[in-house]
Every structure is written in C-alpha cells, then in structure tokens.
Amino acid sequence: MYSNQSFGRCAHEAHKRKGQSNLQIPNHMQEEAKLTTLSPCQDCPAKCCHNLSIWIGAPKTKEQIDDLMWEVRFNTVRIYIRNRRWYLLIDGKCMYLDKNYRCKIYGTHPEKCIRHTPPNCERFGSFWDVMINTPEELEAYLAKRRKKTKAPRSQDSK
C-alpha cells in the first residue's frame, strides 16, 4: 500500500536514533520496513500520529454494551482488542503532524509519542487481535464470547 509513495522523514526523531541502533525487525516485516534508510520510521506516513486510540476496558454491563453499540455506529469510530484490552479507535490525525509527516512540535512532543517505537507499532504486523467496525460485528463478537465463557461451566456440571 505504501510502496509506491514517497514519504517524508519520520515525525519521531527518537525513532530515527533507534533506527541507527540494532533495531530487530522480524524477517517477514523487513520488506515493509525497507531498511534502506536509517529507520523504519523514516519512510512511514506516521501511521501512529493518525487515529486516536482510547483504552476503554471490556464492556461488562448492559449499559456499557449499549454505549459501545451506539458509539460504533459513527463511521469515524471502531473498536479494537489487543492483548485482551479494549480500545476505541477514532479516525483523525494529530494537529501537530505536518504534510511531510513530521512532528511540528518535535522536542516537546509527549513522552507517549517518544515511547511508541517500531516494530511494536501500527506499521508492522497486525496491531490488533480483533477489529470491530459495526454494531452487528460487536453483537456477533459478544455472542461468541458469551458462548465461550458458558461452555466450560456446562461441561463442569456434567
């Protein structure tokens, strides 16, 4: 998807420094990383500076499920699950990202941005275990989860 485009340097100076060290990118990711540059961030369209991710916790009550059902109706909102943690994913981009994918406030950019480094980022592999795009997908996922959690109990009672 990105191979025919020319991207500016990474928004993360900290990532470039990491790129100069012995950053270990798994073999199957190396083509995507295009390690001809100092860092895999360098020709990335700063995917991590797009789409706001908010940790929400797994819904437990009917009210929480109803709220999520309502939220995922918006075409800018999705839900993803990563390492059993639930997140809202809201389309958009950081106001400090310029058109060349550089951070306009580099040097005072948040610690959270500096800590976010490849290959544990949106560019490599699947960043999520489950992606939920619609209320119907959420309902189906919850139904599957309910079935799974009920199964061991019915076996125990035999």
Q: Which residue's CB is nearer to ligand SF4, number 37 or number 134?
A: 37
Q: Is 123 in the site for ligand SF4 (CB under 6 A)?
A: yes
CB of 114 to ligand SF4, least distance (A): 8
Distance CA 24, CA 37 (A): 14
3-state secondary structure of 90: strand
Q: Is 9 in the site for ligand SF4 (CB under 6 A)?
A: no
- Stretch in the footprint of ligand SF4 (CB under 6 A) among 75-83, 115-123, 129-137, 146-154: 115-123
Burial code (b: 16+ CB inside 10 Å, e: under 16) for 45-70 equals: bbebbeeebeeeeebeeeeeeeebbe
Residue 78, burial from CB neighbour count under 10 angstroms (0-12, 13-18, 19+): buried
Q: Is 89 in the site for ligand SF4 (CB under 6 A)?
A: no
Q: Which residue's CB is nearer to ligand SF4, number 12 or number 78?
A: 12
Q: Which residue's CB is nearer to ligand SF4, number 68 or number 124?
A: 124
> 132, 78 in Cβ contact below 8 A?
yes
CB of 84 to ligand SF4, least distance (A): 22
List 79, 97, 132, 138, residue binding ligand SF4 (CB under 6 A): 97
Q: Is 72 in the site for ligand SF4 (CB under 6 A)?
A: no
Nearest Cα residue to 121 out of 39, 57, 37, 58: 39
CB atoms within 10 A of CB 32: 17
CB of 98 to ligand SF4, least distance (A): 8
- Residue type, position 68, single letter: L
Which spans of this chain sit near ligand SF4 (rule: CB under 6 A)? 10-12, 15, 40-41, 44, 46-49, 94, 96-97, 103, 105, 109-110, 113, 116-118, 121-123
